[in-house]
Structure 1
Amino acid sequence: MTSTVESAGTGTLEIPNFPMARASGCPFDPPPELRARQQEGPLTRVRLWDGSTPWLVTRYAEQRALLADPRISADITRPGYPSPAPITGNSIGFILMDDPEHARLRRMVTAPFMIKRVEALRPAVQKIVDDLIDAMLAGPTPVDLVEAFALPVPSLVICELLGVPYSDHDFFQANSKILIKRDAEPEQRAEALGRLTDYLDNLMSEKLAQPKGDLLSGLAERIKAGELTRPEAARMGVLLLIAGHETTANMIALGTLALLQNPDQLALLRDGDDAKLVAGAVEELLRYLNITHNGRRRVALADIEVGDQVIRAGEGLILANDIGNRDPEIFAEPDRLDLTRDARRHVAFGFGVHQCLGQPLARMELQVVYSTLYRRIPTLRLATELERIPFKHDASVYGVYELPVTW
């Protein structure tokens, strides 16, 4: 039997499964079904893996309004929360909590990600980027840009910031991949989370005994002061370690691929030396690519009116930032990559109290990468056909598994 639902628009649509599939040959665009739902109205129902039918929010204005609304909750343990997978054990840190607990824990790690502190890291990040490019230029081609460059850049940066040995990168990258894989078995995900939590807890023991100037040592001081428990600190460490390398790594690789497919836009970065253009290019690529393509998940704490529709207390919401950032009411010609566009209003980092803590660091890293890589390797090009590149359709963080390039 076919399920249908009234959307908050002009007609009746079948309830589709979520997440949705991208169109073949259009790896940078959101699924066409999302575009159809957005044109129909700001709200429609979707069906998840467990049979639940939360609301999908497709339009930019409604997404921003709801993300700033205290009547919606990010707490994954609340009934009605539209979880992307079965919940197993503890969640990874404060992003899946509500205030005041969310705010209490988040404040403990805010300082290292403030803009002035991040800007002080720019020379060190520039050296990391230049050293990795030097190594690529000295080696054979073709090379996998993911393994040789995109993944090491943010991994080295977040390891330095947290106080995690980069020599352990194979371990934490492998377990991170399991956690973000959409079809990973619950037991696999729980085991990977357990391994990472144990690893961070062991590091916390070292920081408690011999504190240094890194973020984990700062958390160790909070433990000593009775402001934080060791399990809380370990979970926060897991969250920051995963978020600190996975998202930026995918933006580096996927952004490079998008630019290679748009040579006129690539030329703006390769042939220019305008810091303002580079900063704007980062915002446009964040808007255009939306590597967090699973939607932001929330549950209503009270009845909320959206247009002529009422979201009832206890109903789940998925705020699809990828299609929100392609809303033609906000961004003219939204499916066109335009590095000169003012894209600062995008919701790639979310909005409201739960917006991404690490966005200043991610922006700075991407600015360094996008202003350096194509200038230093001006003949950079794909070493295979676009159709043969393996995209991460099966992961909650979108990107490419590998990107063969040459010059």
Structure 2
Amino acid sequence: MTQTDTHPTGTTIPAFPKDRTCPYQPSPHYQEFHSEEPLVQVELFDGRLAWLVTGHAEGRALLTDPRLSSDWAHPNFPLIVQRTEGREGLSFPLIGVDDPEHARQRRMLIPSFGVKRMATLRPTIQQEVDRMIDEMLAKGPTIDLVTSYSLPVPSMVICALLDVPYEDHGFFEDRSRRFVGAATSAEADAAFGELYGYLHGLVQKKQENPGEGLLDDLIAGQLAEGDLNHNEVVMIALVLLLAGHETTANGISLAVLTLLQHPEQLDALRRDPSLITNTVEEVLRFASVSDFMVRLAKEDIEVGGTTIKAGDALVFSISLINRDSKAYENPYTFDIERSARHHVGFGHGIHQCLGQNLARAELEIAIGTLFARIPDLRLAVPLDEVPIKAGHDAQGPTELPVTW
């Protein structure tokens, strides 16, 4: 597809999404979208036009608007990447359904992701983080942080939460990467099928030999009582497994990389470790691991003089919403002392990330402990040699060579 195409009106419509050139900055092509208008038109890979939402206030308002749908199974739901073609009718719990179905599913899981429950996990996270750093120090002084640290930390945590055998982490990490990074629907379907098959078998095993994780709670409660069927339990487990390690792994890598490239901010964190909470929020705002969210308009909606028609596609640019100068002073500056809590790194509205408390705990512990224990950590290659993921993927480096 070309970088831009011409609409019948004669205006130039830019293509979306585009790849980043810096791991923690939006694609330079997106600068053209940050105009005075909070909504601009873009063209998706299949030629469909969509409204790209870049305004912070407008984005948060629209994400709470019940006239927008998140129903991935709708035949008119917009596709951002080719790998999602041919998946009409496939329902993804929590992230790809609307109320009341979404609310029903979310209510079943909220107790497992509350602040108090996450607080009880912190000692386990700390213990595993220390163990992984011990192993890194033994292997060092040069390693790939992604495979040695960023990915194993959230993989271990989500396995513990769900009670998924951690010895299988290599399998689901590989298939997850293949699924979310697939260029074609055939590649995505193959990885999805293997993940589904693995979890289908695991649910069957747990019905015969229960454990003590969230997955076991769903089986003993909602599945046994008929509130969920077998397929729904498998799909919920799949969504939690994917979301529970892939995005957080990218967040850890991006946080480390961003801090290393902003030494004055890293020095401030070292002087005052209590800034770790602010640091995590600023990383989530600045680096935007998930770079976009997609919705379908069910009714006409007026936004700042623009009419979104029923049936229109909407794409929320998280990185641009989080860099709106109306919401943040000097938005392209990384500043761990700013108050960035109202970012949309975890989304907003009813679909705001269910696991955000868990992700925050993991990021705070993983980042704070890493720099405390390895104070001379640094990149082993120049920044422009760090390989990064494509624009249609969750953002982050595919490898992060570091040394000390």
Q: What is the identity, as a one-letter code, of the residue corresponding to 1:210?
A: N
SS in 1 for 2:240: helix
Mapping for residues 112-151 of structure 1, pairs under 5 Å? 112-151=112-151
In the alignment, is residue 340 of structure 1 matched against residue 337 of structure 2? yes
Q: What is the identity, as a one-letter code, of the residue corresponding to 1:51?
A: G
CA distance in structure 1 between the partners assigned to 2:229 and 2:11 by the alignment: 48
One of 338, 362, 365 as aligned partner of 2:362: 365
Q: What is the identity, as a one-letter code, of the residue corresponding to 1:41?
A: E
Partner of residue 27, structure 1: 23
Mapping for residues 299-338 of structure 1, pairs under 5 Å? 299-338=296-335
Query: Structure 1 pair 40/33, CA: closer, same or farther in 2 (3 Å)?
Result: farther
In the alignment, is residue 298 of structure 1 matched against residue 295 of structure 2? yes
One of 374, 379, 382 as aligned partner of 1:382: 379
One of 25, 32, 35 as aligned partner of 1:36: 32
Contact 1:5/1:45 (<8 A) preserved: no
- Paired residue total: 396
CA distance in structure 2 between the partners assigned to 1:102 and 1:342 by the alignment: 31
In the alignment, is residue 17 of structure 1 matched against residue 18 of structure 2? no
Query: Structure 1 pair 66/168, CA: closer, same or farther in 2 (3 Å)?
Result: same
Structure 1 residue runs of 5 or longer lacking an equivalent are: 7-11
Q: What is the identity, as a one-letter code, of the residue corresponding to 2:276?
A: V
Contact 2:278/2:340 (<8 A) preserved: yes
Partner of residue 162, structure 1: 162
In the alignment, is residue 215 of structure 1 matched against residue 214 of structure 2? yes
Contact 2:5/2:14 (<8 A) preserved: no
Contact 2:5/2:15 (<8 A) preserved: no
CA distance in structure 1 between the partners assigned to 2:182 and 2:43 by the alignment: 16
Contact 1:5/1:14 (<8 A) preserved: no
Contact 2:23/2:395 (<8 A) preserved: no
CA distance in structure 1 between the partners assigned to 2:11 and 2:304 by the alignment: 18
Mapping for residues 276-291 of structure 1, pairs under 5 Å? 277-291=275-289
Question: Percent identity over the alignment?
Answer: 44
Q: What is the identity, as a one-letter code, of the residue corresponding to 1:60?
A: H
Cα distance, 1:27 vs structure 2: 3.1
Q: What is the identity, as a one-letter code, of the residue corresponding to 1:358?
A: G
SS in 1 for 2:302: strand
Contact 2:23/2:396 (<8 A) preserved: no
SS in 1 for 2:315: strand
Structure 2 residue runs of 5 or longer lacking an equivalent are: none
Q: What is the identity, as a one-letter code, of the residue corresponding to 2:199?
A: L
Partner of residue 356, structure 1: 353
Partner of residue 248, structure 2: 248
- Deviations 1:355-386 (CA, angstroms, capped at 9, x unpaired): 10000000011111122110110000111111
CA distance in structure 1 between the partners assigned to 2:78 and 2:36 by the alignment: 22
One of 59, 64, 71 as aligned partner of 2:60: 64
Cα distance, 1:182 vs structure 2: 5.1
SS in 1 for 2:109: coil
